[in-house]
Amino acid sequence: MKTLAVMSRKGGAGKTTVAVNLTLAARAMGLRAVLADADPMRSAHEVLKGREEAASMLFETSASKLFTLTEASRRAGVELLIIDTPAAPEADVAEAVKVADLCLAVARPTYLDLAAAVLSVAVIHRLGRQGLIALNQCAPARAGVEPPSVMKAFEALRFANLPVAPTAVRARMVYQTAFAQGRSVLEIDAEGTAAREVRDLFSHVWRRLNGERPAAMRSANDDMGRARASAGLRLAPSA
């Protein structure tokens, strides 16, 4: 079994959105995936509570119960356990970090979110765990051209030599519509662009979890490399 902790020090970065969509994407691909809602706010539960399979897919839990839940999931033949955590520094979600094979730090492409994600990955690595940053709520690319905020965010993270998922999750209404219906974006429109980006993000995360080399950056992000000289190599306030 592989365990993924979805985390962010910043509230509203998109932890629950990413955790729920990745869980449902994994299940749609045939994996035995379950979601542990370790946030006392119970947002994941709020979204998924009306689903028929909720009882076997979603577990409301707390930090002190995570180890037991992880062991029980392993024994039950779960292949992927995803943990949705509250907005808090790593010390406050240490139990999730400890049981995770990979900690996914979700960040919007803003200065404060990126600064928080950089700190998170440093702490995660110090704790001997693997970290990966996923950008969320990014403005869409227009005619294949990334908005400067997204380009700078990728560039800053890659310059800082931090692992970043090549697929940026865009700000799209469909993520909110899907939650209002207790569904994932794949279930709203399986061929849509949001579904594609969730599948791409899942594939990258799954490869990382299984120790495979990450796939090459997708072409939209290749522009980042070309823009290296001009993009500004630090976390610029506008990033």
Ligand X SMILES: Nc1ncnc2c1ncn2[C@@H]1O[C@H](COP(=O)(O)OP(=O)(O)OP(=O)(O)O)[C@@H](O)[C@H]1O
Structure tokens at 159: 């310059």
Q: Is 218 helix (H, G, I), strand (E, B) or coil?
A: coil
Do 170 and 140 touch, CB atoms closer than 8 A?
yes
Answer for which of 3, 25, 37, 39 binds ligand X (CB under 6 A) is 39
Q: Among residue numbers 72 through 91, which ones bind ligand X (CB under 6 A)?
A: 87
CB of 175 to Mg ion, least distance (A): 13
Q: Which among 37-45, 59-67, 98-106, 107-115 is the span making contact with Mg ion, rule CB under 5 A?
A: 37-45
Among residues 75, 65, 1, 10, which one has the least CA distance to residue 36? 65
Do 166 and 221 touch, CB atoms closer than 8 A?
yes
The 122-161 site mask, x for binding ligand X (CB under 6 A), equals --------------xx------------------------
CB of 6 to Mg ion, least distance (A): 9
- Quote the distance between the C-alpha of residue 228 and its chain's center: 25
Please state, in angstroms and rounded to a whole number, the distance separating the CA atoms of residues 29 and 67.
Answer: 26
203: left (phi over 0), alpha (psi -120 to 50) or beta: alpha
Structure tokens at 209: 């979890």
Answer for which of 16, 110, 120, 184 binds ligand X (CB under 6 A) is 16
The 155-194 site mask, x for binding ligand X (CB under 6 A), equals --------------x-xx--xx--x---------------
Answer for which of 16, 70, 136, 137 binds Mg ion (CB under 5 A) is 16
